[in-house]
Structure 1
């Protein structure tokens, strides 16, 4: 589907050209892109097999660490499931490890559960929290048909995020539909955060009456809500 944003004035947008000034450093950077360094921790090798199950049911063969490793290699190198299985097998062979790699069927079945998991970020010390939201447009055949023929409006979602200002890490996030208000998602974001909060900075869309009491009750040492212009 063609990119239609600013289509009317696309010809008037000046083209920016970049020239390489330092060719040795540029070529060295290109070579580093092909450098591959893999290191497996001893804990990962020792925990490759799944722990013995104590409840009724079948015994799993691979641990979450092994499945997560293969899926991570698949994402990094843009591989299919069978290709990721073969690539991991060759890497373990080069490292001198005789470990059985999860097959593509196991990766496909277990990858669905890993996709919904969110790692918990435990901050070190009090945080300066930044809360904002952004819109996510849904694309697909139905969305293209809606834009082409004008039958329905384009659907989208809202992603509410809380960022640690000191480290830039996303410590909490909530995905809602486009009808959810920003101020109503602040309690859910604060409940998912572990540790003390020094201050909270939000934009004008989050500036509401339910926000202030919830921030004061969220283990804040010096709770401050600084509304800015909505953007």
Structure 2
């Protein structure tokens, strides 16, 4: 893209400056993200213990609500499972509640099959911004890597997610191996999105025919905003029946890539890159679980944590320069 091609000259371009217009409310929301105020509603106390099973098998002591609450606190405070159980026990003791506390083995086992409600976007239709990032699974650490100069023991998973451009909420996420391609996960992301989609915006890694086909099959009215590769050529029917990709190529030929970015709204994709940074700073750059099902649960709960934090306060800003 142009910002990479012209990187040697970008120091001459002044950096944009913005001013937050709702700073008091936004600052209060930032403080609320670290608040330790805890309360249990009557419904939560009644639903803490699992309902009796009607089929064969042992009876569960804890409901999905209890397990999800404990794992959510684990994600927020970056705790191990034993420390999570200790935190839950201390909170219940301070509140004077006579509720059982799941131990670390129960939390680990139940995380494998825990059903967590998927996040929802704002008002339909949704403008999707899609990106992916790597999450560290295990390894020797940065110090040993720098000391011995090897990365053979590193292991990674790849997180693909889609955010709502209007609300900033993560509305779909998929966790795959580190060698999975980005375009192959578009169908799974679209299946997780409730309601209609107005646009699908992603980087050049999604410039594939199957991506356009997946979006069109799930949401025929959605606009696909993906930058064509520098070696892209028009299709055979570009003159008579141009595709969406052909129209992008035509706009680039007429206005250049920077002009295409402004005309198509591709610049809004920077918001999903900010969401990637927010995930790494708040949740972390790694996964604590070792098994696939538990990692998927950890990912979904982490996305819900970020959405709740965003609901507490979001900045509203205007450009000053």
Picking from 120, 127, 135, the partner of 1:122 is 120
SS at match of 2:226: strand
Is the deviation greater in 77-86 or in 191-200? 77-86
- For residues 136 and 150 of structure 2, the distance between their equivalents in structure 1, rounded to whole angstroms, comes to 16
Assess if the C-alpha contact under 8 Å between 1:85 and 1:104 holds in 2. yes
- For residues 105 and 155 of structure 2, the distance between their equivalents in structure 1, rounded to whole angstroms, comes to 33
- 1:42-69 CA-to-partner distances (Å, cap 9, x unmatched) read 1111111101101101111111212222
SS at match of 1:186: helix
Structure with larger RCO (C-alpha < 8 A, sep 6+): 2
Unpaired segments of 5 or more residues in structure 1? Answer: 1-24
Give the paired residue count.
201
More helix by share: 2
- Say if 1:156 and 1:85 are closer, same or farther in 2 by CA, change over 3 A: closer
Assess if the C-alpha contact under 8 Å between 2:130 and 2:202 holds in 1. yes
Assess if the C-alpha contact under 8 Å between 2:135 and 2:157 holds in 1. yes
Is the deviation greater in 181-190 or in 86-95? 86-95
Q: Return the TM-score normalized by structure 1.
A: 0.68
1:7 is matched with none
1:109 is matched with 109
- For residues 171 and 40 of structure 1, the distance between their equivalents in structure 2, rounded to whole angstroms, comes to 27
Assess if the C-alpha contact under 8 Å between 1:156 and 1:177 holds in 2. yes
- For residues 40 and 60 of structure 1, the distance between their equivalents in structure 2, rounded to whole angstroms, comes to 21
Within-5 A mapping of 1:1-231:
36-114=36-114, 119-123=117-121, 124-136=123-135, 139-141=138-140, 148=148, 156-220=156-220, 222-228=221-227
- Say if 1:105 and 1:210 are closer, same or farther in 2 by CA, change over 3 A: closer
Q: Return the TM-score normalized by structure 2.
A: 0.51
Q: CA RMSD in A?
A: 3.7
